[in-house]
Structure 1
Amino acid sequence: MSAASFVRLARCRGPRGLGCRGLLLYTVATSRRHLRTFGPGLSSTRFDPDSSGRPTPWDSFGIWDNRIDEPILLPSSIRYGKIIPKVSLSKVGAASLIGQRKENEDRYQVSQMTENIIYFAVFDGHGGSEAADFCDNYMEQYIKDLVVQEDNLELVLTRAFLDVDKALQKHLRLSPNASGANAGTTATVALLRDGIELVVASVGDSRAMLGRKGKALKLTVDHHPDRKDEKERIKKSGGFVTWNSLGQPNVNGRLAMTRSIGDFDLKNMGVIAQPETRRIKLHHVNDAFLALTTDGINFIMNSQEICDVINQCHDPKEAAQRISEQSLQYGSEDNSTIIVVPFGAWGKQKGSDASFSFSRSFVSSGRWA
């Protein structure tokens, strides 16, 4: 049965009064029995998502092995006409190490925000933890309130970032703690809706990447002062860019990023809180994981190295721990935080031993000159 035929049949009531839910349950159950009988990688099902009429091996569904055994999201699978696995929060891996810093100013969150939207976020504070703490405490609620009014998740995230930035400014003005007046933070937030729609928003240099077909697909671009478009905005606003002794560009000799939440002393110099966003439709046949990382990891390991290490790990929890520890072993002195979210193709790209570059920079990362 082709995917199109399957969807048409699922939308109506099937033979003998079998409803949509029953039909899909029957189909999935039958297919799983075939999988157990024939084993992974064999043409054991009549599904052909590309409508070619040819039998499709089970690995094309992303169900490669039983290391991440997730149930099927029935409503989403029926709506999109393809098998969509459920992402269980219990399978998500996360790690945050303090490194050589006096305190850990990184924050991260993973939660089931609404019935059909999962929330992932990393915040890397600088100049104190006040800004990162504020985002950690309130960003999710701002987004949750906005999704009730707006269906476009890119617009939701953009507005939430700007609203949180304004709320933080008000909070710091009323706070007796003057030391946090110039605090700021990166923010990289990912929303997964219906197990298939992934939307990412980011300010600063914390990153999001997708493991697709064994390769790292970058979902964010760092907001560094040496980016032409970012540098031009800083200069037009009256700010300037300098380079420190390590060759790192800084806004007004202080901040190594051009977008952030907080850093209010530089807001009139072109530092903004408006995020860059990206929306992508997941293909669970090819997409193995989503990874969110702070610059304690990014500064010392490139995206493909991170992807290669994750592909060698048994599960996302092991992957998160290995990446955070490996960044410190390579010489990172910053806080190192990572979230690893498994998708349908987890385990498909096991990969061989990765070859790492010995030309990496063994200097401490940091945003302040």
Structure 2
Amino acid sequence: MSSAVLLKLVRCGRSGAAGRAFLWGSVSKVDLFTPVPPVQASGAAWVRWASGAARFDTDGSGRPVTWDSFGIWDNRIEEPILLPSSIRYGKPIPQVEEGGRASVLGLRKQNEDRLRVARIHDNLLYFAVFDGHGGPHAADYCYTFMEKHIRDALEEEEDLERVLTKAFLDADKALHTHLTSFLTAGTTATVAMLRDGVELVVASVGDSRALLCRKGQAFKLTHDHTPDRRDERHRIQSSGGFVTWNSVGVAHVNGRLAMTRSIGDFHLKQSGVIAKPDTRRITVHHTGDAFLALTTDGINFLLSDQEICDVINQCHNPTEAAEIISQQALQYGSEDNATIIIVPLGAWGKQQSPAAVYSMSRNFASSGRWA
């Protein structure tokens, strides 16, 4: 046998072995994610399955792509993948972290804000902020027991909007029994639940807020319950209550409370103040959604939703972002407790916001808001 023929046989044997080894690894990976259509892998590499044939080359050279670059879901997502949810929904779902959080005293004598982050189930996360008034008693109760009310509601109901509505009303009812005194205490409540990494449901009473940063833009998920809203004011007046405005133009129910919905405030229940939350359901798109933020009014009364997005998008991690936002609110003149939870999503760090322009000419006449 000539040396040329021998060399040809050796080359054929090597390419066949390499092809078989590569084909085995590739088939096992694709079979694992059958619901997912073929995706572009690491630049220009495409995988195509037709008539039992697969194309492994990126440039028509016949050389297979490397294993490390084959079958990657999306090279923009650096977080660990939540495998069961990815298979269920047929798209990559990052494992959502607990994120960053901060709560500062401001110029108050005590911090009446509370925040809570928990994992209800393996696929269900819970985030909440509570802004107490008339003392911390109502906020303390919600911090301690809201999660229990949610768990109890989940035993009877799967729809998260109904779960949160029931939990809020149950918490309000139980708080009335719990508070033998301090019946003038109350709290806002903004709660977000994330199921399977994609189903986001938010419930809120009062003027704490939730917002989603989507493609660099602030996407509001809640609306403040204040007497300035015509529908809220109409309910107050229909229930026998009245609305007054203080010297800086802030509306109050019966001259006492700057919100029309809350947990607690039992002295104003007959005047139309209710604990039934507004709820909202949204699907998270991890390729464009950078983070979820929950804030109390010590922050959102001084910074607009878009300002919050822009500042957070310049930060390296959620913990740093939470600290910067809370301190920024103080620099802008917030006298109230300032609390924030930031939950990073799939597009965290991918949005480039323009440099924030910080104006020190803020209106500091905000004390009437929190009187």
Q: Give the shorter-chain TM-score range.
A: 0.7 to 0.9
- In structure 2, the partner of 1:64 is 76
| Aligned mate of 2:340, from 330, 338, 341 | 338
Q: Secondary structure at the match of 2:324?
A: helix
* Length-normalised TM-score, structure 1: 0.82
Q: Is 2:83 the counterpart of 1:74?
A: yes
The CA deviation at 1:88 is 2.3
CA contact (8 A) 1:254 1:367 kept: no
Equivalent residues in 2 for 1:74-223, closer than 5 Å: 74-89=83-98, 92-173=99-180, 178=181, 180-223=182-225
Q: Specify whether residues 102 and 45 from structure 1 end up closer, same or farther in structure 2 by C-alpha distance, changes over 3 A only.
A: farther
- Identity among equivalent positions (%) equals 63
Equivalent residues in 2 for 1:206-355, closer than 5 Å: 206-355=208-357
Q: Specify whether residues 164 and 330 from structure 1 end up closer, same or farther in structure 2 by C-alpha distance, changes over 3 A only.
A: same
Q: Specify whether residues 225 and 61 from structure 1 end up closer, same or farther in structure 2 by C-alpha distance, changes over 3 A only.
A: farther
The CA deviation at 1:211 is 0.4
**Offset from partner CA, 1:249-276 (integer Å, 9 cap, x none):** 0000000000000000000000000000
**Offset from partner CA, 1:223-259 (integer Å, 9 cap, x none):** 0101000000000000000011121000000000000
Which contiguous aligned blocks of 4+ residues in structure 1 show a shift greater than 2 angstroms?
Answer: 18-22, 42-47, 60-65, 355-361, 363-369
The CA deviation at 1:20 is 8.9
Distance 1:120 1:63 in 2: 28
The runs of 5 or more residues in structure 1 that have no matched partner are 1-14, 36-41, 48-54
Q: Specify whether residues 63 and 225 from structure 1 end up closer, same or farther in structure 2 by C-alpha distance, changes over 3 A only.
A: farther
Distance 1:152 1:295 in 2: 29
**Offset from partner CA, 1:301-320 (integer Å, 9 cap, x none):** 00000000001001111110
The CA deviation at 1:368 is 5.3
Equivalent residues in 2 for 1:9-24, closer than 5 Å: 23-24=32-33
Q: How many residues align?
A: 325
The CA deviation at 1:338 is 0.3
The letter of the residue matching 2:80 is: P
Distance 1:208 1:365 in 2: 23
* Length-normalised TM-score, structure 2: 0.82
CA contact (8 A) 1:296 1:365 kept: no
More deviation, 342-351/200-209: 342-351
Q: Secondary structure at the match of 1:253?
A: coil
- In structure 2, the partner of 1:5 is none
CA contact (8 A) 1:93 1:318 kept: yes
The letter of the residue matching 2:169 is: L
The letter of the residue matching 2:139 is: A
The CA deviation at 1:362 is 1.5
Q: Secondary structure at the match of 2:255?
A: coil
The CA deviation at 1:356 is 4.4
The runs of 5 or more residues in structure 2 that have no matched partner are 1-23, 49-57, 59-71
The letter of the residue matching 1:341 is: V
CA contact (8 A) 1:295 1:365 kept: no
More deviation, 281-290/354-363: 354-363
The CA deviation at 1:70 is 2.1
Q: Specify whether residues 196 and 337 from structure 1 end up closer, same or farther in structure 2 by C-alpha distance, changes over 3 A only.
A: same
Q: Secondary structure at the match of 1:280?
A: strand
CA contact (8 A) 1:62 1:345 kept: no
The CA deviation at 1:19 is 7.9
The CA deviation at 1:147 is 1.2
Distance 2:153 2:282 in 1: 20
Distance 2:82 2:100 in 1: 21
CA contact (8 A) 1:204 1:224 kept: yes
CA contact (8 A) 1:334 1:366 kept: no
The letter of the residue matching 1:187 is: A
Superposed CA RMSD:
2.8
Q: Specify whether residues 279 and 357 from structure 1 end up closer, same or farther in structure 2 by C-alpha distance, changes over 3 A only.
A: farther
The CA deviation at 1:61 is 7.2
CA contact (8 A) 1:63 1:344 kept: no
